[in-house]
Amino acid sequence: MDQNRLYERILGLSQPWYVSSVELNEASGEITVEVDLIDGILLLCPKCGKSCPRYDHRPRKWRHLDTCQFQTLIRSDVPRINCPEHGALTIQVPWAEDSSRYTQLFEGSVIGWLQETSIRAVSRRLGLSWSAIDGIMARAVKRGLKRRGTLDATRLAVDETSFRKGHDYVTIVSNQHGRVLAVEEGKSSSSLAQYYKSLSPAQRVKVESISMDMSPAFQKATLEYIPDAKRKIAFDHFHIAQSLLEALNVTRKSELLQVDQSLRKHAHQTRYHWMRNRHTLDIQQKSQLDALVCQLSDTALVWYFKEKARDIWKGNRVRGATTAWREWIGLAKASAIKPLQVTAGHIEKNLWGILNAMRLQASNALAEAINSKIRILRVKAHGYRNKERFKRAILFHFGGLSLEPTH
């Protein structure tokens, strides 16, 4: 087999395309494979498929997978046809997509690497610029979204994540299978509305639950677009636990200032024990807390309410839950501990959504897991230069998309 035929096999070329020469440039470390079209072949319009006369040609180059240590390029004079209806158009080559400067096999391998490692590493190893990689990711996501079709959107979770630390946000909608369905600009009511608008009326009716934090923005959009939303909006336990932990920390910190100096260090050492579930504490940790109960009585009380709230939740007594929560709220409000009273008021106001979450067994756990993976992604990328790239990266990694070019 001569080298031209060998490269035809490697590139998977078949008639009317053939390799006319292979050149090795040792100085630049490049192999250039020249690909031509058989003379006199019928050329088809890429838009309508009609056979059209040749118009002219455009010299083009694509990077392909390396041959041993040599960067390998395909070069070809690609004909343009003159379609009576669509004008002058470049014909489609079988080894690359539209305007890409890389072959499908090369793009496929970049996509594979990006799934394994950081953009930085891929850029260094393959000698690609960040914008070249971004172009490959953009085509991959576009392809994946086009192929994706309709996804299961019956049980949704909505969450927000920041694009840069403390700045700018995006809203992430995911489903019960942990797939990101959409990444929308901002974290307002219209951010989520943007996603709901992409659903058909029938799909909106089919939505069974939407798990979210207790912020009014997401509620507003959901009430507006999802039929019977008042029975579908679910406030996950995670958010209640979070708000109780905050109350606990605020109480502990302010109480710490009033205790005897000699106790302060000891009390500080227990700061994480209070936050944990009592079943997970060992005997020593329990006795450390017991020793502080008298001095930190408010903290101990808030801790008790936190544990009690989890019991109500985990008890799964949907029927008795309303009464249990009402009792809890009443006692918490009577506690005279300001941060606990505020949290109790918050829970009272949102009790309907908390009860929905219990009844629907809706959880934000998967959405929270995606969110922490996104944070890791952002750290690994040392932040993203613009928001479009960030949104794209989320869909690339967590959209469950089929990203590879077809070959």
* Site residues, Zn ion (CB under 5 A): 45, 47-48, 83, 85-86
Longest dimension (CA), the chain: 96
Minimum distance from residue 86 beta carbon to Zn ion (Å): 4
Residue 66: which of 16, 126, 114, 129 has the closest Cα?
A: 126
With beta carbons less than 8 A apart as the criterion, state whether 75 and 33 touch.
yes
At what angle are helices 283-292 and 261-269 packed, to 10 degrees? 150
Pick the closer one to Zn ion by CB: 47 or 146. 47
Determine the distance from the C-alpha atom of residue 379 to the mean position of all C-alpha atoms in its chain, rounded to a whole number: 14
Neighbours of 282 (CB within 10 A): 9
Pick the closer one to Zn ion by CB: 49 or 216. 49
Pick the closer one to Zn ion by CB: 82 or 270. 82
Neighbours of 383 (CB within 10 A): 10
Is 42 exposed, middle or buried, given 0-12, 13-18 or 19+ CB atoms closer than 10 A?
exposed
Pick the closer one to Zn ion by CB: 51 or 372. 51
Minimum distance from residue 46 beta carbon to Zn ion (Å): 8
Pick the closer one to Zn ion by CB: 45 or 393. 45
- The label of the residue with tokens 């839950």 reads 321
Pick the closer one to Zn ion by CB: 47 or 197. 47
3-state class of 336 per DSSP?
Answer: coil
Minimum distance from residue 27 beta carbon to Zn ion (Å): 44
Minimum distance from residue 85 beta carbon to Zn ion (Å): 5
Minimum distance from residue 41 beta carbon to Zn ion (Å): 17
Alpha-helix runs per DSSP H in 70-183 = 104-116, 119-126, 130-148
SS3 of 382-400:
CCCCCHHHHHHHHHHHHCC
Q: Rounded to whole angstroms, how far apart are CA atoms 158 and 209?
A: 11
Minimum distance from residue 49 beta carbon to Zn ion (Å): 7
Q: Rounded to whole angstroms, how far apart are CA atoms 108 and 378?
A: 23
Minimum distance from residue 53 beta carbon to Zn ion (Å): 12
Pick the closer one to Zn ion by CB: 83 or 214. 83
Minimum distance from residue 76 beta carbon to Zn ion (Å): 21
Pick the closer one to Zn ion by CB: 55 or 130. 55
With beta carbons less than 8 A apart as the criterion, state whether 374 and 161 touch.
yes
